[in-house]
Amino acid sequence: MAHFELQPSESELQQLAEQGWQKAGEHEHELEEAAFEAGAAIRGGEYSLANLEAIVRWKSERVVHYLIANSEAKIRQVLTVAAAPDCSTRKAVEALMELRGVDLPIASAILAAIAPECYNVLDFRTLEALGHERHDVEFYAEYVAFCRRLAEKGLVKPQGDLPGPTSLHALERALWEWSRLRSEHRVLV
């Protein structure tokens, strides 16, 4: 079982979440907004390459060219499984990873955009903020469970006017920003 240890203080999280959005550039804002709009469309049954591409572009623009090698039928099949409300984390991730160009971090971004109240993105920055680096499906399930527990504590409020308006996604922004600030500090020292 994975062990997570929150690196920033709990009292810093809300400020870090706000700062993470403020410091992101206009391009990043547009990508994130498009990703969560696409996730909502997928939740609504629109299992298209265009919606999937918007989400993948948000996580990693360099991977998009692999995505188009997947057939519309395969994309529809995989998204039907991953977007099902009763689908387990493991089953959803494994289905998404059947697509060309989708690895665990990309699968986690797709799930986070489709169901931001249930999933968050597995990212090296957020993992650093939790004192961890390992990446596999079981680890992701444990990571999501840990982050849900943190979000349920109310340490970070949902950012209702931003894409992915849930406390879980705000927590993700906070953890990412903490890691980014730490990285900047290391470069300056």
CA distance 56 to 67: 8
Helix H or strand E encompassing 123: none
In single-letter form, the type of residue at position 40 comes to: A
Task: Report the alpha-carbon angle 108-185-143, nearest 5.
Answer: 25
Q: Over its length of 189 residues, how does the chain's per-residue pLDDT go in tens digits? A: 778 899 999 999 999 999 999 999 999 999 999 999 999 999 999 999 999 999 999 999 999 999 989 999 999 999 999 999 999 999 999 999 999 999 999 999 999 999 999 999 998 889 889 988 767 888 889 999 999 999 999 999 999 999 999 999 999 999 999 988 887 766 665
The pLDDT value recorded for residue 166 is 94
CA distance 151 to 146: 9
The pLDDT value recorded for residue 134 is 67
- For residue 105, which of 79, 78, 76, 137 has the smallest C-alpha distance? 137
